Amino acid sequence: MALKANKNINPMKKSPISRPQSLAMSVAERLKAAILKRELSLGEALSEEKIAAAMDVSRTPVREALTILQLQGLITIVPRRGSFVFRPEKEDLQALVEYRLRLELLASELATERAPEALLQSLSKTIETMEKARDNDDTLAYANADTRFHNAFFDHCGNHFFVEAYDIVAGRIAALRAHMSAELGLHRQRTFQEHLEIVEAIKKRDVAALHAVLRTHIAEMEPNYANALQLV
């Protein structure tokens, strides 16, 4: 007897299968965290064998993890030489600052127009963290809060394409900020004051003032980081 087709069943209907995180992705996240926590230095050579032994995995997921981080710009893989934590050349740093500046100006304007209250709440929270980090002379905590401060513009801009565009460089910017924070003293009053000025401009919905502060604030990244990295 032939079975009648069930008209309620749609063979094209999506039914996502829950999958555990891949081992390679787990390794990639641990390596990324090690870079952002300054456990791995900029430009440091990485041994697949040592990483595999430390994480108790085979070399295959380590190799895959390094490829994932290469796509994020955090790892440089040089044929026949090995893998290294990224360390920008002078031209790369210039391009990175230019890219970040143009994106952040647009994202900050959109966030100020579309979600000013939510944006201010996020920024005010990170300002509190910055103050505590300054009081404790904790440059890494300050750098992490600084990263969250600027990411807030993209979190609240209301356009996922801006978020995707910024993700191309977000890891590298966060890593540079973390590694340069001790040398440059990112907890100094000058840079902290600029963050306060950014918040004040958003409170007043003054996009011109916001852009003026951001231009100065972000542009300083290039000479300061170039000096610290001895790229001049």
Average per-residue pLDDT for the chain: 91
Which pLDDT does position 190 carry in this prediction?
Answer: 82
What are the contacts of 93-99 at 24+ separation with CB within 8 A? 93/222, 93/225, 93/226, 93/229, 93/231, 94/222, 96/169, 96/172, 96/173, 97/218, 97/219, 97/221, 97/222, 99/168, 99/169
79/194 same-domain check: no
Contact in structure between 175 and 86 (CB atoms under 8 Å):
yes
80/176 same-domain check: no
Residue 33 lies in a domain: yes
Which pLDDT does position 14 carry in this prediction?
Answer: 55
Average pLDDT over residues 37-58: 96
Q: Which two tokens stand for residue 41?
A: 């230095």
Average pLDDT over residues 128-132: 95
Which range of residues forms the domain containing residue 191? 90-228
95/78 same-domain check: no
Asked whether the CA dihedral 97, 102, 108, 114 is positive or negative, the reply is negative
> Would you place residue 232 in the very low, low, confident or very high pLDDT band (cuts 50, 70, 90)?
low
> Would you place residue 9 in the very low, low, confident or very high pLDDT band (cuts 50, 70, 90)?
very low
Q: In terms of Cα–Cα distance, which of 159, 144, 148, 143 is closest to 111?
A: 159
Lowest mean pLDDT among 12-16, 55-59, 142-146: 12-16
Q: Angle at Cα 222 formed by Cα 165 and Cα 38, nearest 5°? A: 75
What is the C-alpha to C-alpha distance for residues 29 and 143, in angstroms, rounded to an integer?
Answer: 19
Number of domains in the chain: 2
Tokens 């996922």 belong to which residue? Answer: 160
pLDDT tens column, 154-170: 999 999 999 999 999 99
Lowest mean pLDDT among 13-17, 52-56, 70-74, 108-112: 13-17
What is the C-alpha to C-alpha distance for residues 130 and 225, in angstroms, rounded to an integer?
Answer: 20
Residue 41 sits in a domain of what CATH number? Answer: 1.10.10.10
Residue 2 lies in a domain: no
Which pLDDT does position 84 carry in this prediction?
Answer: 98
pLDDT at 146 > cutoff 50: yes
